[in-house]
Amino acid sequence: MVLLENLALVFVAGFITALATGLGALPFFFFDEISDRRNVLLWGLSSGIMVSASVFGLIEEGLAVGTPLEIGAGMAAGVLLVVVAHDVLVDADIDPREYEEADFKKLVLILGILTVHSFPEGIAVGVAFADLGLEGGVPVLGFTVPLLAVFMTVAISIHNIPEGTAISIPLKSMGVERWKMVWWAVFSSLPQPIGAVLAFGFVRIAREFLPFGFGFAAGAMIYLVLSEFVPEALDIGSDLPHGGKRELVAGFAIGVVAMLPLTLI
């Protein structure tokens, strides 16, 4: 019974991060478009948050319970998962413009592709909840929640907002209704609560793999930042002065600084 309650809480945390993606569509309720400069800044902010969460959260926590070799092996496996998943789905890439007109089969394919992008973030949330109910956490809704879990849930929720914006931009150009844009943004992150529950269940049952799990989540997220977020930002900012690099660096720095208070709790 306690395990089911814990799994439910972890699912809710993962679902909160998915809902945060919908916030990325909200600016289009007030503005017709978002400038490239602000978009690059948002991607930089997201990248800074993800790297901070990985280094100061996952890796640091992993080193407290395991060896650098275990963390390194986990990181390598996390990178490998993302690389292999991308190679498998490289010919099945889906543009957000196709979301609105997709039939059931295509929706399944879309969700599979989105899993590659958002599943590692769900894993990070699940691993962060490994010490749920143990000493040293903070009380939340009758549960003793690890500080790392709070940190990761907040960090990934903030990170998901610009992802929601990126998904909403092409939908806006198609004339998709605003509330549907919110739905499709949330839909893109639905694998996160699933990944969170699976990862939490695994590390609770096989706690000897916990350091590996921390490294796995950190490696996958850092690789996603380097292979997707940064290139995406530079592509958007290609017409800006200096190719948008200043906005990217500024956003990254803001993201790191914004997460520092949580690392010091």
Of 195, 172, 198, residue with least CA distance to 185? 172
Q: What is the pLDDT of residue 249?
A: 93
pLDDT digits (tens, 9 = 90+) for 165-188: 877 877 777 777 888 889 888 988
The residue ranges of every structural domain in the chain are: 2-263
CB-based burial, 37-49: b 16+ in 10 Å, e otherwise: ebbbbbbbbbbbb
How many helices (H) and strands (E) are present in the chain, helices listed first?
Answer: 11, 2
H or E element at residue 138: strand 138-140
pTM: 0.81
Q: What is the pLDDT of residue 161?
A: 87
13 or 119: which leads in pLDDT: 13
Residue 212 pLDDT more than 70? yes
Please report which confidence band the pLDDT of residue 35 belongs to, taking 50, 70 and 90 as the band edges. Answer: confident
CA distances 68 to 57, 207, 223, Å, are: 15, 17, 18
